[in-house]
A and B are shown apart, each in its own frame.
Chain A
Amino acid sequence: MAGEVTGKNAYVAFKGTQYSLYRSFSPEQTIDMVDKSSGSDASKTYLTTLADGSASVELVMQEGTAGTAAYANLAPGGEGTLEWGVEGTSAGKVRHYVNAIVKSRSEPFKYNDLTLCNAAFQYSGAVTDGTY
Protein backbone atom coordinates (compact mmCIF):
# COMPACT_ATOMS: atom_id res chain seq x y z
CA MET A 1 0.00 0.00 0.00
CA ALA A 2 3.00 2.30 0.13
CA GLY A 3 2.88 5.27 -2.18
CA GLU A 4 -0.86 5.73 -2.57
CA VAL A 5 -2.25 9.15 -1.76
CA THR A 6 -5.56 10.19 -0.27
CA GLY A 7 -6.85 13.69 0.29
CA LYS A 8 -6.76 13.57 4.06
CA ASN A 9 -3.55 15.59 4.32
CA ALA A 10 -4.29 17.92 1.42
CA TYR A 11 -3.91 21.68 1.60
CA VAL A 12 -6.42 23.87 -0.22
CA ALA A 13 -6.40 27.66 0.06
CA PHE A 14 -7.78 30.68 -1.76
CA LYS A 15 -6.58 34.23 -1.16
CA GLY A 16 -4.61 32.97 1.82
CA THR A 17 -7.54 31.31 3.56
CA GLN A 18 -7.07 27.59 4.08
CA TYR A 19 -10.13 25.42 3.62
CA SER A 20 -9.38 22.59 6.02
CA LEU A 21 -13.02 21.46 6.01
CA TYR A 22 -13.02 20.68 2.32
CA ARG A 23 -14.68 17.45 1.29
CA SER A 24 -13.55 17.49 -2.29
CA PHE A 25 -11.38 19.62 -4.53
CA SER A 26 -11.19 19.14 -8.30
CA PRO A 27 -8.60 21.09 -10.25
CA GLU A 28 -8.59 20.69 -14.02
CA GLN A 29 -6.30 21.94 -16.74
CA THR A 30 -7.22 22.07 -20.41
CA ILE A 31 -5.76 23.45 -23.62
CA ASP A 32 -7.59 24.87 -26.59
CA MET A 33 -6.90 23.38 -29.98
CA VAL A 34 -7.53 24.29 -33.61
CA ASP A 35 -8.14 21.79 -36.35
CA LYS A 36 -5.27 21.91 -38.84
CA SER A 37 -6.35 19.00 -41.00
CA SER A 38 -6.86 19.74 -44.68
CA GLY A 39 -6.84 18.40 -48.18
CA SER A 40 -6.72 14.64 -48.37
CA ASP A 41 -6.05 14.03 -44.64
CA ALA A 42 -7.80 10.89 -43.45
CA SER A 43 -7.57 11.84 -39.78
CA LYS A 44 -7.88 15.13 -37.98
CA THR A 45 -4.78 16.81 -36.66
CA TYR A 46 -4.61 19.72 -34.25
CA LEU A 47 -2.53 22.64 -33.12
CA THR A 48 -2.55 23.56 -29.46
CA THR A 49 -3.25 27.18 -28.61
CA LEU A 50 -4.05 28.56 -25.16
CA ALA A 51 -3.99 26.74 -21.85
CA ASP A 52 -6.98 27.10 -19.58
CA GLY A 53 -8.27 25.58 -16.39
CA SER A 54 -10.86 25.53 -13.66
CA ALA A 55 -11.40 24.05 -10.25
CA SER A 56 -14.20 23.37 -7.84
CA VAL A 57 -14.32 22.85 -4.12
CA GLU A 58 -16.91 21.51 -1.69
CA LEU A 59 -16.71 22.54 1.96
CA VAL A 60 -18.51 21.74 5.16
CA MET A 61 -19.93 25.01 6.46
CA GLN A 62 -19.14 25.99 10.04
CA GLU A 63 -21.41 27.98 12.27
CA GLY A 64 -20.52 31.49 13.42
CA THR A 65 -17.77 33.74 12.21
CA ALA A 66 -15.61 30.96 10.77
CA GLY A 67 -18.35 29.95 8.36
CA THR A 68 -19.19 33.53 7.49
CA ALA A 69 -15.56 34.30 6.68
CA ALA A 70 -15.15 31.17 4.58
CA TYR A 71 -18.29 31.98 2.63
CA ALA A 72 -17.34 35.65 2.13
CA ASN A 73 -13.91 34.69 0.82
CA LEU A 74 -15.62 32.79 -2.00
CA ALA A 75 -17.74 35.69 -3.27
CA PRO A 76 -18.18 35.46 -7.06
CA GLY A 77 -15.75 37.79 -8.83
CA GLY A 78 -13.15 37.51 -6.11
CA GLU A 79 -9.67 37.04 -7.55
CA GLY A 80 -6.52 35.76 -5.93
CA THR A 81 -4.16 32.85 -5.60
CA LEU A 82 -5.69 29.39 -5.54
CA GLU A 83 -3.23 26.94 -4.06
CA TRP A 84 -3.33 23.24 -3.40
CA GLY A 85 -1.00 20.49 -2.31
CA VAL A 86 -2.54 17.05 -2.28
CA GLU A 87 0.03 15.66 0.17
CA GLY A 88 0.07 18.69 2.46
CA THR A 89 2.67 21.39 2.90
CA SER A 90 5.62 19.49 4.32
CA ALA A 91 8.95 20.31 2.71
CA GLY A 92 9.35 18.60 -0.63
CA LYS A 93 5.65 17.92 -1.19
CA VAL A 94 4.09 18.92 -4.50
CA ARG A 95 2.62 22.42 -4.64
CA HIS A 96 0.39 23.98 -7.29
CA TYR A 97 -0.91 27.51 -7.48
CA VAL A 98 -2.63 29.74 -9.99
CA ASN A 99 -4.35 33.10 -10.13
CA ALA A 100 -8.06 32.35 -10.20
CA ILE A 101 -11.44 34.05 -10.15
CA VAL A 102 -14.45 32.72 -8.30
CA LYS A 103 -17.00 31.97 -10.98
CA SER A 104 -19.81 30.72 -8.77
CA ARG A 105 -20.62 29.65 -5.25
CA SER A 106 -23.59 27.88 -3.73
CA GLU A 107 -24.66 26.82 -0.29
CA PRO A 108 -26.95 23.80 -0.61
CA PHE A 109 -28.52 22.58 2.59
CA LYS A 110 -30.81 19.73 3.56
CA TYR A 111 -33.15 19.27 6.46
CA ASN A 112 -31.31 16.17 7.62
CA ASP A 113 -27.69 16.81 6.73
CA LEU A 114 -24.79 19.21 7.01
CA THR A 115 -24.82 22.48 5.13
CA LEU A 116 -22.18 22.58 2.42
CA CYS A 117 -20.61 25.32 0.33
CA ASN A 118 -19.57 24.75 -3.27
CA ALA A 119 -17.44 27.13 -5.30
CA ALA A 120 -16.13 27.06 -8.85
CA PHE A 121 -12.95 28.81 -9.96
CA GLN A 122 -11.82 29.93 -13.38
CA TYR A 123 -8.05 30.08 -13.76
CA SER A 124 -6.79 33.43 -14.96
CA GLY A 125 -3.16 32.71 -15.63
CA ALA A 126 -0.77 29.80 -15.77
CA VAL A 127 -0.59 27.09 -13.15
CA THR A 128 2.75 26.96 -11.39
CA ASP A 129 3.87 23.52 -10.31
CA GLY A 130 6.57 23.20 -7.68
CA THR A 131 7.28 21.93 -4.21
CA TYR A 132 6.97 23.29 -0.68
Chain B
Amino acid sequence: MTNILGAIGTAIYGKLTAGTALTNLLAGTASVYNSLAPRGVSMPYVIFQYQGGGDENLCATRMRNIVYTVKAVSSTGALQAANIDAQVDALLHNATLTVTGFSNFWCAREGDIDYVETDPDAGNMWHAGGTYRIRLAET
Protein backbone atom coordinates (compact mmCIF):
# COMPACT_ATOMS: atom_id res chain seq x y z
CA MET B 1 0.00 0.00 0.00
CA THR B 2 1.15 3.50 -0.78
CA ASN B 3 2.37 5.49 2.22
CA ILE B 4 -0.50 7.87 1.78
CA LEU B 5 -0.05 9.82 4.99
CA GLY B 6 3.59 10.33 4.15
CA ALA B 7 2.62 11.52 0.68
CA ILE B 8 0.04 13.94 2.06
CA GLY B 9 2.52 15.23 4.62
CA THR B 10 5.04 15.85 1.87
CA ALA B 11 2.37 17.66 -0.16
CA ILE B 12 1.30 19.90 2.73
CA TYR B 13 4.88 20.70 3.68
CA GLY B 14 5.73 21.53 0.08
CA LYS B 15 2.66 23.70 -0.36
CA LEU B 16 3.26 25.67 2.85
CA THR B 17 7.00 26.17 2.52
CA ALA B 18 6.53 27.37 -1.08
CA GLY B 19 4.33 30.21 0.14
CA THR B 20 6.66 33.13 0.76
CA ALA B 21 3.85 35.28 2.15
CA LEU B 22 3.57 32.62 4.83
CA THR B 23 7.23 31.83 5.43
CA ASN B 24 8.02 35.56 5.71
CA LEU B 25 5.93 35.51 8.89
CA LEU B 26 7.66 32.47 10.39
CA ALA B 27 10.90 32.12 12.31
CA GLY B 28 12.47 30.58 9.21
CA THR B 29 11.58 29.46 5.71
CA ALA B 30 11.37 25.87 6.92
CA SER B 31 9.50 26.49 10.16
CA VAL B 32 6.81 24.01 9.23
CA TYR B 33 6.67 20.75 11.17
CA ASN B 34 4.73 17.52 10.96
CA SER B 35 3.02 16.61 14.24
CA LEU B 36 5.60 18.07 16.64
CA ALA B 37 8.13 20.88 16.53
CA PRO B 38 11.64 20.16 17.84
CA ARG B 39 12.03 21.17 21.48
CA GLY B 40 13.23 24.75 21.87
CA VAL B 41 12.82 25.66 18.20
CA SER B 42 12.20 29.32 17.44
CA MET B 43 8.64 30.53 17.13
CA PRO B 44 6.50 31.30 15.28
CA TYR B 45 6.06 28.11 13.29
CA VAL B 46 3.36 25.98 11.70
CA ILE B 47 2.38 22.52 12.82
CA PHE B 48 0.33 20.13 10.70
CA GLN B 49 -0.87 16.73 11.81
CA TYR B 50 -3.20 13.92 10.82
CA GLN B 51 -6.51 14.29 12.61
CA GLY B 52 -8.67 11.48 11.26
CA GLY B 53 -10.27 9.79 8.29
CA GLY B 54 -9.33 7.02 5.89
CA ASP B 55 -10.72 5.07 2.96
CA GLU B 56 -14.14 5.87 1.51
CA ASN B 57 -14.78 2.44 -0.10
CA LEU B 58 -17.64 3.76 -2.24
CA CYS B 59 -16.44 2.47 -5.60
CA ALA B 60 -13.62 0.44 -7.10
CA THR B 61 -11.21 3.37 -7.26
CA ARG B 62 -9.45 3.85 -3.95
CA MET B 63 -10.46 7.14 -2.42
CA ARG B 64 -9.23 8.78 0.75
CA ASN B 65 -11.07 11.28 2.91
CA ILE B 66 -8.70 12.62 5.52
CA VAL B 67 -8.70 15.55 7.92
CA TYR B 68 -5.54 17.40 8.88
CA THR B 69 -5.03 20.05 11.54
CA VAL B 70 -2.82 22.91 10.43
CA LYS B 71 -2.08 25.65 12.94
CA ALA B 72 0.28 28.49 13.71
CA VAL B 73 2.08 28.61 17.05
CA SER B 74 3.31 31.97 18.32
CA SER B 75 5.00 33.14 21.51
CA THR B 76 4.23 36.77 20.65
CA GLY B 77 0.47 36.85 20.65
CA ALA B 78 -2.86 35.89 19.18
CA LEU B 79 -2.65 38.45 16.38
CA GLN B 80 0.58 37.03 15.02
CA ALA B 81 -0.82 33.51 15.15
CA ALA B 82 -3.99 34.66 13.39
CA ASN B 83 -2.03 36.42 10.65
CA ILE B 84 -0.03 33.27 10.01
CA ASP B 85 -3.21 31.24 10.00
CA ALA B 86 -4.65 33.56 7.35
CA GLN B 87 -1.69 32.82 5.09
CA VAL B 88 -2.05 29.08 5.70
CA ASP B 89 -5.72 29.36 4.79
CA ALA B 90 -4.86 31.22 1.59
CA LEU B 91 -2.55 28.37 0.61
CA LEU B 92 -4.78 25.43 1.51
CA HIS B 93 -8.46 26.34 1.29
CA ASN B 94 -9.80 25.19 -2.10
CA ALA B 95 -6.26 24.43 -3.20
CA THR B 96 -5.00 21.37 -5.06
CA LEU B 97 -2.26 19.39 -3.38
CA THR B 98 0.27 17.38 -5.34
CA VAL B 99 0.06 13.94 -3.73
CA THR B 100 2.08 11.15 -5.29
CA GLY B 101 -0.19 8.42 -6.65
CA PHE B 102 -3.40 10.32 -6.09
CA SER B 103 -5.38 13.19 -7.55
CA ASN B 104 -6.58 15.70 -5.00
CA PHE B 105 -10.12 16.74 -5.88
CA TRP B 106 -11.04 18.44 -2.61
CA CYS B 107 -9.10 20.40 0.00
CA ALA B 108 -11.08 22.78 2.14
CA ARG B 109 -11.09 24.23 5.61
CA GLU B 110 -13.84 22.99 7.91
CA GLY B 111 -13.09 24.08 11.45
CA ASP B 112 -11.22 26.80 13.28
CA ILE B 113 -8.70 26.50 16.11
CA ASP B 114 -7.90 29.35 18.50
CA TYR B 115 -6.48 28.91 21.99
CA VAL B 116 -3.58 29.77 24.24
CA GLU B 117 -1.56 27.56 26.53
CA THR B 118 1.23 28.18 29.00
CA ASP B 119 4.37 26.14 28.68
CA PRO B 120 6.78 26.01 31.68
CA ASP B 121 9.73 26.66 29.40
CA ALA B 122 8.34 28.70 26.52
CA GLY B 123 5.75 30.73 28.37
CA ASN B 124 2.50 31.60 26.63
CA MET B 125 1.92 29.94 23.25
CA TRP B 126 -0.91 31.15 21.05
CA HIS B 127 -2.37 28.64 18.58
CA ALA B 128 -4.50 29.61 15.56
CA GLY B 129 -5.41 27.39 12.65
CA GLY B 130 -7.99 25.10 11.20
CA THR B 131 -8.91 21.60 10.19
CA TYR B 132 -8.76 20.81 6.49
CA ARG B 133 -10.57 17.97 4.75
CA ILE B 134 -8.50 16.42 1.97
CA ARG B 135 -10.12 14.01 -0.49
CA LEU B 136 -8.07 11.98 -2.91
CA ALA B 137 -8.64 9.44 -5.66
CA GLU B 138 -5.95 6.96 -6.63
CA THR B 139 -4.56 7.53 -10.12
Contacts and interface: CB of A to CB of B under 8 A. Distances in A.
Interface string B41-58: 000000000000000011
Interface residues of A, number: 10
A59 B59 CA distance: 8
Question: For chain B, what secondary structure do more than half of its interface residues adopt (helix, strand, loop), or is it mixed?
Answer: loop
Q: How large is the interface on B (under 10, 10 to 19, 20 to 34, 35 or more residues)?
A: under 10
A22 B106 contact: no
Q: Which 10 A-B pairs have the closest CB atoms?
A: A20-B60, A21-B59, A60-B59, A23-B59, A23-B58, A21-B61, A21-B60, A22-B59, A60-B61, A114-B105
Interface string A50-92: 0000000001100100000000000000000000000000000
Contact of A112 (B57, B59, B106): B106
Contact of A8 (B60, B103, B105, B108): B60
Interface of B: 57-61, 103, 105-106, 108
Q: Which of A8, A23, A112, A114 has the most CB of B within 10 A?
A: A114
A21 B103 CA distance: 15
A23 B60 CA distance: 8
Contacts of A20: 59-61
Q: Which of B59, B103, B105, B106 has the most CB of A within 10 A?
A: B59
